[in-house]
Homo-oligomer: A and B are copies of this chain.
Amino acid sequence: MNTSKTADLSSREKLKLILELSSEISATDSIRTMLKKITDGVKNILNADRCTVFLLDEGKKELYSWVAHGLEGVEIRLPVFKGLAGDVASTGSTVRIEDAYMDSRFNAEFDAKTGYRTKTVLCMPMKNQKGKVIGVFQVLNKNSGVFSYEDEELLALFSGQAAAILESAILYRELKKTFVSFIRTLSEAIDARDPETAGHSIRVGNYSVEIGRNLGYDRERLEILEYAAILHDLGKIGVKESVLTKPGKLTEEEYRHIQSHAEKTGAILENIYFQPEYREIPPAAALHHENIDGSGYPLKKKKSEIPHMARIIAVADVFDSLTYERYYRRPMAFKTVIDKIKSDSGKKLDSECVNSLLKLKVSVVLKTLNSGRENEIPARDLNKLKALTLDQLSAILKEKKENPMKKIFNSYYAHGGTDEV
């Protein structure tokens, strides 16, 4: 949008620009980008020097903004009852003034801090359809004089629209956050039935995302992959704890009962209505124990019959399981974990997915293990360790000669196996 700094647009042109702006912001995902487009658009259409959109934080009784021209990226917070914007938020009425310094409601503190000189102001509440104030538009210093009644009318036309679009974006984001938090917490609760698998699903979620990222998955597909990975053991709800947490060797029947968790994951997820974009989740989650050579379960699928996401989750699942202790085996040394996964590559596990795992940086694993011991280690050594790939680390751990990386890694890895053999 190119508009001159001094000449005003015709009223028809302004209306068209506002319509175009509305289309553009309706189609924006990120709320920050939305706010940036709104402020830039309004600034240009009203031929003003600055525009800020404040959102109301009802809990804290504050107005906040992420974008302000001249102060980009800084979050500004104001008490609701302070300054012109605060006045507009609390009264719900528009303020249009020719000279801010002549108005008692104006708070000059901000100008004093930034060296800006506010003159003419158009400050308008952003109200949703129920008439509730959800934010405030603050437009400063019209380039061609003072804000007119027509400017006010124009902004009013746009303001309801902006409120509705912002509110619906916020609602969506909140619901998504609730949904994700719900599936994470649920999976954690299910893992926690067995102390030895506590945290497993979330870690498999993290590793799967990193493997997928290495393989070129985009943001949307990474999201779906993460949900499927987090939910892969959901079927354990239907597995008896007596079997789940039985120490030592399982009978054949008990083993089959444990294995049934994969089918059960499928059965539960198939019963859930997933929106079209999420329909890959059930098979991706349920088929994480299939092997590419057909030796897996429950369907004995082979290679490309297994959804790609399920092959990723399989690698992440094996990796996480082997790095932790299990009732039926001692924790495994890290280098042994890597050797085991390499030897299964192309047989049980998809070799492309295994290679993607081996290329993961150690930092990903440390972050996922989240041992909280980072402070005990010199930053330089830690950064060197973090920059290694899992494959490089495994090679170092196998070396006969001394290497400080060995010791540092083991201090992290102490939760499970040990490489100090």
Using CB atoms and an 8 Å cutoff, list the residues of chain A in contact with chain B.
11-12, 15-16, 18-20, 22-23, 26-27, 128-129, 157-158, 160-161, 163-165, 168-169, 171-172, 174-179, 181-183, 185-186, 188-190, 192-193, 234, 237-238, 240-242, 268, 271-276, 278
Contacts and interface: CB of A to CB of B under 8 A. Distances in A.
Contacts of A278: 178
Contacts of A186: 186, 237, 268
A191 to B, nearest CB: 10
A27 B160 contact: yes
B157 A16 contact: yes
Contacts of A183: 182
Contacts of A20: 157
A241 B245 CA distance: 13
A275 B177 contact: yes
A176 B177 contact: no
A416 B190 CA distance: 31
Given A177-B275, A186-B186, 8 more contacts: A15-B16, A23-B160, A23-B161, A26-B161, A27-B160, A165-B165, A168-B172, A172-B172
A26 B168 contact: yes
A162 to B, nearest CB: 9
A30 to B, nearest CB: 13
Contact of A178 (B11, B26, B179, B238): B179
A388 B223 CA distance: 50
B182 A272 contact: yes
A278 B176 CA distance: 13
B165 A272 contact: no
A281 B174 CA distance: 15
